[in-house]
Amino acid sequence: MTVHSGATGVAQAPPQVQPRHRRATPLSEGARAERRLGWLLCAPAVIVMLAVTAYPIGYAVWLSLQRYDLRFPAARRFVGLANYATVLTDHLWWTAFGVTLFITAVSVAVELVLGMGLAMIMRWALVGRGAVRTAILIPYGIVTVVAAYSWQYAWTPGTGYLANLLPSGSAPLTEQWPAIFIIIGAEIWKTTPFMALLLLAGLSLVPEELLRAAKVDGASAWQRFTQVILPLMKPAILVALLFRTLDALRIFDNIFILTAGANNTRSVSILGYDNLFTALNLGVGSTISVLIFIAVAIIAFVFVKGFGTAAPGQEVDRR
Amino acid sequence: MSTRTAAKTSWAVGNTVVVVLALVPVLWLASLSFKDPSTIADGSFLPHKWTLANYRGIFQTSLFTRALVNSIGIAVIATLLAVILGSMAAYAVARLRFPGKQVLVAVTLLIAMFPAISLVSPLFNLWRQLGLFDTWPGLIIPYLTFSLPLAIYTLSAFFREIPWELERAAQVDGATPMQAFLQVIAPLAAPGMVTTAILVFIFCWTDFVFAISLTSTSRSQTVPAAIAFFSGASQFQTPIGSIAAAGVVITIPIILFVFFFQRRIVAGLTSGAVKG
């Protein structure tokens, strides 16, 4: 960064200083050693990360272009985009896609509101700040599958304390919409703490003096929130939304335990898993994998470009 | 004074609601795990008849005990490797100038957001060909991949806060570079590394997608995956009690971490967000 800005500075104001072409001059021994060390230190991590992501996703693309049913491996052959046509014209895919988007939109929206409330509690509560902070870390850390079982038994008629609050005869987990809302509830319970902590990080950047000044100037609590706190927190909010949206789109564990995808409660991840391990269809399963990857990439791109989310880590070089 | 008391009371009420909501599902599972099999489906929030039979049951089956060994072994090894490789890369990111650093940070971020399910089908096939299917390394490798972004991110945030001048100062005072590193820098870097280790461990400990896709037997099945097979494969009376007990057992480490390292976990989770 600094090197580049220095170079443009030179280009704009050439007469004053002797042009320093830092790039042209050979690097000093120290700089070259630093460069080598930097690459050496990063190499193992980079290799591990790319070997298990870049290569397999390429391999998934290759598999998705083939008819490849593990029950009939001999019938394996190249079929071009036929699997994509199969998946994209199948209502199962679009149902799963819709369910995933719905769960993502509702849970992230609710979590944003709840997370903001929790962040404020953790910053300003007069009592019990530590207790809240400790308690919300339990949902964050707990194994999702374990929490999902807890919700499942809670909503099982007869067994569960929550199911017993409902009129008898209702089995919410066996109906599409009640089940989806239970899944959303489980997701919100589990991931709101993470959202709250990311927002707390943004909230702690809002200077107390500024809020006091706004109060002196007669701003109401709501005005202080919308006109002082929210604008200053915008970067943190966008980062939290980005993280949670991309995380929610891959929802798997909760649905797997709560409904196993029955009654049209499948997410795209569950659909991909089912095609791979129940139908043993590696070709179609890989197609779904690739489609999920593309969908996530598009949404991430829209976030970063459209909303101007500063990709976290971008300022890593700022020192 | 009275408005302050009122404010305090309303905060206390609000906070109590939050704490209760956060803990009820865990307490419910604990309650189920202590219920006598005959009363397990009675729908009461608290057990009427307490028993330890569910715990005795799961610890007598190799399905659970071996899964527990797998869970601990795989998570510990993946955590150690992630912290070592992550520290190396994070040191470079935080302290060194080299071309490609921005690319590294961008790639790291992309991987953090990668949908795990997209890797399941290719890895499933690759691992079968390479003989890694249903082995410890078969899980450790993807865990390492997905925890490295978290590790590099958190560690570089911590490393940037270390006053590295102290290292030179110690050397001026006559310490060898090794002494300077071990006695000055290492103690300063340790908290960040512990925090990172906890976050990575939690990540590996809670994974389910890879655990059910890349394993098939108790050779490498971790507890979250094994629990899902309890209902079918169990010889003991009620899977509900066993699942609840197993769930409580694997929640214990999380609760310990939260109680002893609460501040660190919060600092670790928020460090990246503040810095970035």
pLDDT digits (tens, 9 = 90+) for A62-96: 888 988 887 777 777 788 788 898 888 888 999 99
Q: What is the mean pLDDT of residues A186-204?
A: 92
| Interface subset of B 204-263, CB within 8 angstroms of A | 205-206, 208-209, 212-213, 223-224, 227-228, 240, 243-244, 247, 250-251, 254-255, 257-259, 262
Q: What is the mean pLDDT of residues B96-110?
A: 84
Q: Is the pLDDT of residue A177 over 80?
A: yes
Q: Is the pLDDT of residue A26 over 70?
A: no
What pLDDT is stored for residue B217 in this prediction?
Answer: 87
Nearest to B118 among A45, A138, A293 (CB): A293
Number of alpha helices (DSSP H) and beta strands (DSSP E) in chain B: 12, 0
What pLDDT is stored for residue B112 in this prediction?
Answer: 81
> To the nearest whole angstrom, how far is the Cα of B181 from the nearest Cα of chain A?
17
Nearest to B157 by CA among B77, B82, B86: B86
* A201 with B274: Cβ contact below 8 A: yes
Indicate which of B3, B29, B121 best probes the interface with A, i.e. most A CBs within 10 Å of its own CB: B121
What pLDDT is stored for residue A303 in this prediction?
Answer: 80
> To the nearest whole angstrom, how far is the Cα of B174 from the nearest Cα of chain A?
23
Q: Is the pLDDT of residue A48 over 80?
A: yes
Q: Percent of chain B, pLDDT > 90? A: 36
Domain assignments of chain A as residue spans, ordered by start: 95-282
Instruction: Copy the structure tokens of residue A229.
Output: 């706190």
pLDDT tens string B56-76: 888 988 889 999 999 999 999
Residue type, A257: I
* B115 with A316: Cβ contact below 8 A: no
What pLDDT is stored for residue B249 in this prediction?
Answer: 94
Q: What is the mean pLDDT of residues B108-115?
A: 82
Binned at pLDDT 50, 70 and 90, residue A196 comes out as very high
Q: Is the pLDDT of residue A9 over 80?
A: no
pLDDT tens string A58-68: 888 988 898 88
Lowest mean pLDDT segment, chosen from A69-78, B8-17, B117-126: A69-78
What pLDDT is stored for residue B1 in this prediction?
Answer: 53
Cα nearest neighbour of A247 on chain B: B113
Q: Give contacts of A286 with chain B, Cβ < 8 Å.
A: 121-122
Q: Is the pLDDT of residue B237 over 70?
A: no
For residue A158, CA distances in Å to A108, A127, A155, B41 come to 31, 39, 9, 6
Q: Is the pLDDT of residue A256 over 90?
A: yes
Among positive and negative, which fits the CA dihedral A167, A186, B142, B262?
negative
B35, β-bridge pairs? B50
Q: Give contacts of A149 with chain B, Cβ < 8 Å.
A: 29, 227, 243-244, 247
Query: How high is the mean pLDDT of chain B?
Result: 86
Indicate which of B117, B126, B207, B242 best probes the interface with A, i.e. most A CBs within 10 Å of its own CB: B117
Indicate which of B4, B18, B264 best probes the interface with A, i.e. most A CBs within 10 Å of its own CB: B18
- Homologous superfamily assigned to A95-282: MetI-like (1.10.3720.10)
What pLDDT is stored for residue A2 in this prediction?
Answer: 33
A and B: number of Cβ contacts within 8 A: 322
Binned at pLDDT 50, 70 and 90, residue A314 comes out as very low
Tell me if chain A has a CB within 8 Å of the CB of B272. Answer: yes
pTM: 0.87
Q: Is the pLDDT of residue B98 over 70?
A: yes
Binned at pLDDT 50, 70 and 90, residue B234 comes out as very low
Domain assignments of chain B as residue spans, ordered by start: 1-51, 61-275
> To the nearest whole angstrom, how far is the Cα of A267 from the nearest Cα of chain B?
11
* A31 with B208: Cβ contact below 8 A: no
Q: Is the pLDDT of residue A17 over 60?
A: no
Enter the CATH code of domain B61-275: 1.10.3720.10
Q: Give contacts of A315 with chain B, Cβ < 8 Å.
A: 275-276
Q: What is the mean pLDDT of residues B28-39?
A: 87
ipTM: 0.89
Q: What is the mean pLDDT of residues A176-197?
A: 93
What pLDDT is stored for residue A310 in this prediction?
Answer: 56
What pLDDT is stored for residue A19 in this prediction?
Answer: 45
Q: Is the pLDDT of residue A7 over 90?
A: no
Binned at pLDDT 50, 70 and 90, residue A102 comes out as very high
